[in-house]
A and B are shown apart, each in its own frame.
Chain A
Amino acid sequence: MWKFILRRFLVMIPQLFLLSIIVFMMAKAMPGDALSGQEINPRANPAELERIREDLGLNDPWYQQYIRWASNAVQGDFGISYTHKTPVMDVIEDRLWNTVFLALVTLIFTYMLAIPLGILSGRYNDTWVDKTVTGYSYIGFGTPIFIFALIMLFVFGFALDWFPSGGSVDSKVDEGTFAYVVSKINHLILPALSTALIATTSTIQYLRNEIIDNKIKDFVRTARSKGVPESNVYSRHILRNSFLPIAAFLGYEITGLIGGAVIIETIFSYPGLGQLFLSSVSLRDFSVVTAIVMMTGFATLLGTLLSDIILSAVDPRIRIE
């Protein structure tokens, strides 16, 4: 087992190396750089821009820039963001926590919805309960997230005014107080719920199918024939077996949520990592872009490793030798 994990970590080195080269080359393939945005400022002095480019090393060939970047990155220094004028890690840190909180709350909502609905739907399959839940999950599946989020925002953020309509915290409350925590959570509910209501549908379907499949498996039949009460059959046998694969996907889910929150962050003006990534790409703030890609890439690789470990623990057929 330990050997396996160690080996996977060793494999990550070339993977990350390759990732960094690809990202770097792609970044350089895009027209323009961090200073292009200034070129429509009629007061900006083109010669001055050229001088700054030279100073920042933006005119060097990409591999030279890459080597410079890589040797610093290995020491944990991802450089300075040209747009934010501050070390990249500082920029990312602010946003990272916002996104992590959002992902966690979304995850909680997702499972709070998926588990009861999935169980109901799977246990009573082909009844009206199942049909309702399945109907919901189809509609959820077919609804673009941004339409749904906008409608949620207009209904609950504006028409009913139950929740704040943007930002991550009320600027009037002081950090470290209880009110601050409440405000943070209050700002999270609407974006998290909007994502969860749509994202949960696939988990519901997955769980439902697992339960239906497990229901007719031999070990369940045996338990039933032994006279185990129906509720125990579910809690002891079917559910346990059905939850495991879902638990194993947790690793993927979290990384997926962290990387995929751009739309929600944009709609709810929530300053998170996805939004930072997109704006950095548009502004050609490449030091931020590369850092975010490397971080999420690393997190994803860790997530897959975690999922594999859980899966192998759960399912003896997928062995780790």
Chain B
Amino acid sequence: MKIKSYSKVLSALAISSLLLAACSNDTEKSSTKEKKGKDVEQVDTSLFPTKTTNQGEPIDGGHLTYGLVSDTPFEGILNKVFYQGDPDNQVITFFDEDLLDTDENYVFTNDGAASYEISDDNKTVTLTIKDNVNWQDGKPVTGADLEYAYLVLGSKDYKGVRYDEQMALIEGMEEYHAGKADSISGIKVDGKKITFTFKKANPSVTTGLWTYPLHKEYLSDVPIAKLESSDKIRKNPIGYGPFKVKKIVQGEAVEFEAFEGYHRGAPKLDSVTLKVVNPSVAVKSLENGDIDVASISADQFDQAKALDNVEILGKVDLAYTYIGFKFGHYDEKKAENVMDNPKFEDKRLRQAMAYAINNEEVGEKMYKGLRFPANSVITPNFKYNNKDVKPYEYDPEKAKKLLDEAGYVDTNKDGLREDPDGKEFKINFASMSGGDIAEPLTNYYIQQWQEVGLDVQMLDGRLHEFNSFYDLLKKDNEEVDIYQAAWGVASDPDPSGLWSRSAAFNYTRWVNDKNDELLAKGISEEAFDDQYRIDTYNEWQELIHEEVPIIPTLFRYTTTGVNKRVSGYDYLAERQYKWFNVGVTEEAK
């Protein structure tokens, strides 16, 4: 049974790249590509439309049913500071939002509920909340509300996981977090204005700043430790988004009604019903009109494509799948990764393993042409993705050649290669369960490695359940030689959290001086200059490509089905939850 947020990473859809489209004779795919007139050298991320095509006039009093696709009920922690699973987040987007909007590169804009300015020394950010932005109870949204969110997130009574390293860069935040101060000295509030002062300049501020306020007046009488379980969060949440929560059927459904005082203008729909739909019936529910919008998983894509009343929107997901090599362990005392496992120290061995697998075919056949080979670990929906870096292409001969060169040859003629010392060379491959495709995919990779003579075996002869899998990685279990996993990446391109010398999430334990240097450059003050940052990350991606500490395998598309009576729905990340714009042009059947 797949669970919550991480299953999203596992089950999301992906779609073929230009590379696939170019060598496939699927005319529909290529025509879409031509229509969009994309550069041939670029990864085609527009195989699907992202907007509904319905141009009709929305009817008055329209009602929409949103299918929350999940195999468990939602938990009902309806606040971005506290929620755990993605289902809750989907509920929140209807009635609440962040103060700053983002553009297609996930960089903040001034179009949302607030505008922002960065000081000349790049250390101070000032947000000005627009005058007409009010909570649904009529009270204005103020700087104090956003400050209160920081006070909660930094409090020792806060049991969630959203106090991150960027917050700690605000002046006085660490002191407050440690309980040494009652307020955060780096945050200054003046009515609808709020100013953050950072200890050092960091370009990630323009993508990663926390801008979700808490209704201070409404919530401050509840102790911080009790907030997450209070009815004010769970049953009667007040946001400032386009819809108001009218009624909640715990875990199953939410009824919303339009919030006329919404700062972007009254929404086009009168009301929305959100209800939980089991993944196995999501397409069926779309077909018979029970729900108007629902995400579609890979295994049901063919069925969804055949529906007359539904159009499919898609976009590249913020995630990549990869195969990682284990280089060492994490030293908790020093809080540092240590490379002390020489098994994969020869770069040629790693490259050979990358050449030996055919990800193009995996994407095309296994995911029905809906995932595509990953060229890098920065996803292609960022401008930082280095288009000049190409994925390792399937070339078993080259793989064999590299292995021969590196000294991995079959000395005892058993069909499998021995290591340079002539000893048996066995590789244990750990892979995670979840989703139908996991097991054949793992076996497929193993088969391909065996074809070039590498003795790869599935660790323990089976897939590992999510928690066990990450437990093996986290504790650097010695049985694990290589593993397959996926990362969902944040809207901030800085990869330090997964790649730096000190990152505990750097599960390969790969460390490299050049890597340290480039990562630091990417978030230095110079990196406020975008071209500088692009160049830095381009160089970094070349380094990763050359060194292959991991083999990036697949990027993915995520798709959603929308009933054709719906207008104004845009699936692109920065607009996906702009529900005020969505209307329906006819009544449901």
Binding site for B on A (CB under 8 A): 30-32, 35-49, 52, 55-56, 80, 82-87, 94-95, 150, 153-154, 157-158, 161, 165-169, 171-172, 266-269, 271, 275-276, 278-279, 282-284
Contact = CB atoms under 8 A, between A and B. Distances in A.
A45 B503 CA distance: 9
Contact of B164 (A44, A154, A271): A44
B1 A266 contact: yes
Contact of B3 (A86, A157, A165, A283): A283
Contacts of A52: 159, 161
Contacts of A42: 487-490, 497-498, 505
Contact of B229 (A46, A49, A86, A268): A86
A31 B254 CA distance: 35
Instruction: Kindly name the residue among A35, A47, A84 whose own CB sees the greatest number of chain B CB atoms within 10 A.
Output: A84
Contacts of B285: 158, 165-166
Interface in B217-250: 228-229, 234, 247, 249-250
Contacts of A168: 249, 252
B4 interface: yes
Contacts of B470: 32, 36, 39-40
Given A39-B474, A84-B77, A266 B278 contact: yes
A57 B9 CA distance: 30
Interface string B485-506: 0011110000001100000110
A37 B4 contact: yes
B574 interface: no
A43 B497 contact: yes
A97 B112 CA distance: 43
B534 to A, nearest CB: 21
A40 to B, nearest CB: 5
A269 B498 contact: no
Contacts of B156: 55
Q: Across chains A and B, which 9 residue pairs bring their CB atoms closest together, nearest first?
A: A32-B467, A171-B253, A31-B471, A46-B504, A85-B228, A271-B73, A86-B229, A31-B468, A279-B72
B255 A85 contact: no
Interface stretch (B195-203, B269-277, B555-563): B269-277
Contacts of A158: 281, 284-285, 287-288
B571 to A, nearest CB: 23
Given A84-B75, A171-B254, A279 B1 contact: yes
20 contacts: A30-B467, A31-B467, A31-B472, A35-B161, A37-B4, A37-B6, A40-B487, A46-B505, A83-B84, A85-B228, A150-B280, A166-B275, A167-B275, A171-B249, A171-B275, A266-B1, A266-B71, A271-B73, A271-B252, A279-B4
A28 to B, nearest CB: 13
B75 A48 contact: no
B82 interface: yes
Contacts of B547: none
Contacts of B277: 166, 269
Contacts of B488: 40-42
Contacts of B529: none
Contact of B281 (A32, A45, A166, A282): A166
Contacts of A56: 159
B290 interface: yes
Contact of B1 (A48, A267, A282): A282
Contact of A55 (B85, B159, B290, B505): B159
B6 A45 contact: no
B3 A282 contact: yes
A33 to B, nearest CB: 8
Contacts of B161: 35, 38, 41, 44-45, 48-49, 52
A45 to B, nearest CB: 5
Given A158-B287, A167-B252, A40 B84 contact: no
Contacts of B3: 37, 279, 282-283
Contact of A167 (B163, B253, B471, B498): B253
B363 interface: no
Contacts of A82: 159
B426 interface: no
A154 B278 CA distance: 13
A172 B63 CA distance: 12
A110 to B, nearest CB: 24
Given A37-B4, A94-B251, A171-B275, 6 more contacts: A30-B467, A42-B490, A83-B84, A158-B287, A158-B288, A275-B72
A138 B44 CA distance: 55
Contacts of B278: 166, 266-269
B421 interface: no
Contacts of B162: 43-44
A94 B250 contact: yes
Contacts of B253: 167, 171
Contacts of A80: 229
Contact of A171 (B76, B165, B247): B247
B5 interface: yes
B301 interface: no
B394 interface: no
B54 to A, nearest CB: 24
B347 to A, nearest CB: 26
Contacts of A39: 470, 474, 505
Contacts of A154: 284
Given A35-B161, A43-B162, A171-B255, A284 B467 contact: yes
Nearest to B494: A42
Which one of A35, A56, A95, A279 has the highest number of Cβ atoms from chain B below 10 Å of its Cβ? A279
Nearest to B158: A52
A30 B6 CA distance: 18
Contacts of B445: none
B234 A171 contact: no
A38 B504 CA distance: 13
A36 B467 contact: yes
Contacts of A31: 467-468, 471-472
A124 to B, nearest CB: 41
B176 interface: no
B466 interface: yes
Interface centre among B5, B161, B164, by most chain A C-beta atoms within 10 angstroms, is B161
A7 B490 CA distance: 60
Given A37-B6, A150-B280, A32 B159 contact: no
Nearest to A40: B6
Given A37-B3, A83-B84, A158-B288, A165 B281 contact: yes
Contacts of B505: 39-40, 42, 46
Interface in B448-480: 465-468, 470-472, 474
Contact of A45 (B73, B163, B254): B163
Nearest to A81: B75
